[in-house]
């Protein structure tokens, strides 16, 4: 059964970077990252096709987000730079680049001085 | 852009729930998806390709629609169905979510 397990929560200062990992079991054509600020809705950040490394990013995050994959360890990473307080959110990875299933458990990233 | 209505739906267990998702432009290939999210949990895929139920999703959940107007129907609400429902569409280079409909106990 396909499983998605994310790294643990992070606390960062404004201006710093964060790198969240997502370990997957099983084959996947694509993997997406979605975030959810406290009490808010879902926001797509981007996706990757791990076998060739191709990525697509939401325009809002262009230049600040990098999604990468290490196929030897079945791990996908999402790095977000120049963090601001409004980047405080739960970050999810999920299999797929169309419909997303399954989802990881989420990683809370808190940005605070 | 996806718009969902109503924002909040207050119903009792056993009632029928009808959730709407409207797109600002026609959804390509009817690539409309629905998720359920409960507090403190990750979203769960319910419906993909407008009307196809995901694995293990009960048949009380159904999706319909085409073009710009789509509907998620829950025929008889069970206690575990209360939560927030999001629609989503995808294209060649992006993926967007609606703002969600909260289904709460009346």
- Chain A residues near residue B94 by CB distance under 8 angstroms: 44, 56, 58-59
Residue A45, min C-alpha distance to chain B (Å)? 9
Q: Do B94 and A58 touch (CB under 8 A)?
A: yes
Report the percentage of chain B scoring pLDDT > 90: 93
Residue A82's pLDDT band, with cuts at 50, 70 and 90, is very high
B contact test, residue of A32, A54, A99 with most B CBs within 10 A: A99
Closest CB from A41, A98, A105 relative to B100:
A41
Average pLDDT over residues A98-102: 93
- The model's pLDDT over A16-50, given as tens digits with 9 standing for 90+, comes to 999 999 999 887 789 999 999 999 999 999 999 98
Average pLDDT over residues B31-60: 97
What token pair was written down for B60?
């009380």
Average pLDDT over residues B5-26: 96
Q: Do B42 and A58 touch (CB under 8 A)?
A: no
The pLDDT, as a whole number, for residue A8 is 95
Does the structure show a pLDDT above 80 at A1?
no
Mean pLDDT of chain A: 95
- Chain A residues near residue B35 by CB distance under 8 angstroms: 42, 100
A103 secondary structure, DSSP code: B
- Compute the distance between CA of residue B32 and CA of residue A24 in angstroms, rounded to an integer: 25
Can you give A15-84 as a three-state secondary structure string? Answer: CCCEEEEEEEECCCCCEEEEEECCCCCCEEEEEEECCCCEEEECHHHCCCEEEEEECCCCEEEEEECCCC
What part of B 44-73 touches A (C-beta under 8 Å)? 44-45, 48-49, 54
Q: Do B48 and A99 touch (CB under 8 A)?
A: yes
């Amino acid at each position: 059964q396909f499983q998605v397990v994310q790294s643990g929560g992070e606390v960062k200062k404004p201006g710093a970077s964060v790198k969240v990992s997502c370990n997957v079991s099983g084959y996947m054509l694509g993997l997406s990252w979605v975030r959810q600020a406290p009490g808010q809705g879902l926001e797509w950040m981007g996706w990757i096709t791990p076998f060739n490394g191709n990525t697509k990013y939401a325009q809002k995050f262009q230049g600040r987000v990098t999604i990468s994959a290490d196929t030897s360890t079945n791990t996908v990473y999402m790095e977000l730079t120049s963090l601001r307080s409004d980047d405080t959110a739960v970050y999810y990875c999920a299999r797929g680049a169309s419909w997303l299933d399954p989802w990881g458990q989420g990683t809370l990233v808190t940005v605070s001085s | 852009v996806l718009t969902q209505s109503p924002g909040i739906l207050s119903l009792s267990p056993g009632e029928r729930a009808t959730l709407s998702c409207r797109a600002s432009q026609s959804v390509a290939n009817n690539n409309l998806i629905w998720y359920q999210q409960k507090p403190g949990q990750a979203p769960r895929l319910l419906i993909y390709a407008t009307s196809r139920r995901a694995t293990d999703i009960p048949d009380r959940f159904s999706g319909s629609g085409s073009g710009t107007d789509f509907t998620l129907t829950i025929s008889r609400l069970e206690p575990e169905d209360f939560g927030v429902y999001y629609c989503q569409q995808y294209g060649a280079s992006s993926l967007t979510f609606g703002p969600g409909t909260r289904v709460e106990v009346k």
